[in-house]
Chains A and B, each alone.
Chain A
Amino acid sequence: MMRIDRSKLRRSIICWLVLLPLVVVVLFPFAVMFLTAVKPSEEVFVYPARWLPTTYRWANFTDMWEATKFGVALKNSLYVSISSTILAIAVSIPAAYAMARFPFQGKGLYRQFLLVTQMLSPILLVIGLFRLAAMIHWGEGNLVDKHISVIVAYGAFNIAFAVWMMSSYFATIPKDLEESAWLEGCGRARAVWKVFLPLAVPAMTVTAIFTFINAWNEFAVVYTLIRSDANKTLTVQITDLVAGRYTVEWHQVMAATLLATLPVSVLFAWLQRYLVKGLALGAVK
Chain B
Amino acid sequence: MARTASGRPLTPWLLIVPSLALALFIIGYPLYNIVFQSLHEVSRFGLIKDFCGLDNFRKVMADPVFMASLWRTLWWTLGVVGGTVLVSVPVALILHQDFYGRGVARTIVMLPWSVSLTMTAIVWRWAFNDEYGMVNVTLQRLGVISSPIHWLATSNWAFPVEILVGVLVSVPFTVTIFLGGLSSVPGDIYEAARMDGATAWQQFRKLTLPLLRPFINMAIVLNVIYVFNSFPIIWVMTQGGPSNSTHILVTYLYERGFRLGKPGEAAAISLVMLTMLFCFTLLYLRIQPKEGEGS
A121 at the interface (CB under 8 A from B): yes
**Cβ-defined contact, B232 with A220, below 8 A:** yes
- Bitwise, B97-109 to A at CB < 8 A (1) or not (0) is 1111110011111
CB within 8 Å of B: which of A184-223? 188, 213, 216-220
Q: Give the interface SS of chain B, mostly helix, strand, loop or mixed.
A: helix
A-B contact pairs, 19 of them (CB 8 A): A8-B100, A15-B94, A15-B105, A18-B90, A22-B109, A31-B134, A32-B126, A49-B136, A49-B137, A120-B31, A127-B270, A128-B31, A163-B19, A260-B116, A267-B114, A268-B110, A272-B113, A280-B183, A285-B295
- Bitwise, B120-145 to A at CB < 8 A (1) or not (0) is 10111111010111101110100000
**Cβ-defined contact, A113 with B87, below 8 A:** no
Give every chain B residue within 8 A of A59 (Cβ-Cβ). none
**Cβ-defined contact, B132 with A44, below 8 A:** yes
**Cβ-defined contact, A26 with B294, below 8 A:** no
Give every chain A residue within 8 A of B281 (Cβ-Cβ). 119
**Cβ-defined contact, B184 with A280, below 8 A:** yes
A36 at the interface (CB under 8 A from B): yes
* The stretch of B66-74, B153-161, B189-197, B223-231 that contacts the partner chain: B223-231
Give every chain B residue within 8 A of A45 (Cβ-Cβ). 131-132
**Cβ-defined contact, A265 with B22, below 8 A:** no
Give every chain A residue within 8 A of B201 (Cβ-Cβ). none
A270 (CB) vs chain B CBs: closest residue:
B107
Q: Which 3 A-B pairs have the closest CB atoms?
A: A128-B30, A280-B180, A268-B114
B89 at the interface (CB under 8 A from A): no
**Cβ-defined contact, B168 with A257, below 8 A:** no
Question: Given A127, A213, A218, which contacts B30 in the complex, CB threshold below 8 Å?
Answer: A127
Q: Write the residues of chain A forming the contact surface with B, with a CB cutoff of 8 angstroms.
A: 8-9, 11-12, 15-16, 18-19, 22-23, 25-33, 35-36, 44-51, 87, 90-92, 94-95, 97-98, 102-108, 110-111, 113-114, 117-121, 123-132, 134, 152-153, 155-157, 159-160, 163, 188, 213, 216-220, 224, 235, 238-239, 242-244, 250, 253-254, 257, 260-261, 264-265, 267-269, 272-273, 275-276, 279-280, 283-285
- Bitwise, B224-267 to A at CB < 8 A (1) or not (0) is 01100101100010010000000000100110011000010011
A222 (CB) vs chain B CBs: closest residue:
B118
**Cβ-defined contact, B99 with A12, below 8 A:** yes
* The stretch of B7-15, B57-65, B75-83, B202-210 that contacts the partner chain: B7-15
Question: Given A19, A32, A121, A265, which contacts B111 in the complex, CB threshold below 8 Å?
Answer: A265
Cα distance A123–B267 in the bound complex, in angstroms: 11
**Cβ-defined contact, A157 with B9, below 8 A:** no
B10 (CB) vs chain A CBs: closest residue:
A104
Given contacts A123-B229, A219-B232, A265-B114, contact A49 B132 (CB under 8 A): yes
Give every chain B residue within 8 A of A107 (Cβ-Cβ). 12, 295
**Cβ-defined contact, A257 with B16, below 8 A:** no
Question: Given A132, A224, A279, A283, which contacts B258 in the complex, CB threshold below 8 Å?
Answer: A224
Cα distance A229–B25 in the bound complex, in angstroms: 28
B54 at the interface (CB under 8 A from A): no
**Cβ-defined contact, A272 with B110, below 8 A:** yes
Contacts A128-B270, A132-B33, A284-B184 supplied; 16 other A-B pairs, CB < 8 Å: A18-B90, A26-B168, A29-B124, A49-B136, A50-B137, A95-B15, A107-B295, A156-B23, A217-B116, A220-B254, A239-B236, A242-B125, A257-B122, A261-B115, A283-B177, A285-B295
Q: Write the residues of chain B forming the contact surface with A, with a CB cutoff of 8 angstroms.
A: 2-7, 9, 11-16, 18-20, 22-23, 25-27, 29-34, 37, 46, 87, 90-91, 94, 97-102, 105-120, 122-127, 129, 131-134, 136-138, 140, 168, 171, 176-177, 179-181, 183-184, 215, 218, 225-226, 229, 231-232, 236, 239, 250, 253-254, 257-258, 263, 266-267, 270, 273-274, 277, 281, 293-295
**Cβ-defined contact, A238 with B118, below 8 A:** yes
Question: Given B108, B126, B184, which contacts A254 in the complex, CB threshold below 8 Å?
Answer: B126
**Cβ-defined contact, B30 with A131, below 8 A:** yes
**Cβ-defined contact, B137 with A121, below 8 A:** no
Given contacts A26-B108, A224-B258, contact A125 B123 (CB under 8 A): no
Give every chain B residue within 8 A of A90 (Cβ-Cβ). 18
Cα distance A94–B7 in the bound complex, in angstroms: 15
Question: Given B13, B22, B97, B124, which contacts A152 in the complex, CB threshold below 8 Å?
Answer: B22
Question: Given B13, B111, B257, which contacts A269 in the complex, CB threshold below 8 Å?
Answer: B111
A92 (CB) vs chain B CBs: closest residue:
B19
Given contacts A126-B257, A127-B263, A250-B126, contact A113 B23 (CB under 8 A): yes
Given contacts A11-B99, A91-B19, A95-B19, contact A26 B106 (CB under 8 A): no
**Cβ-defined contact, A106 with B13, below 8 A:** yes
**Cβ-defined contact, B270 with A26, below 8 A:** no
**Cβ-defined contact, B122 with A239, below 8 A:** yes
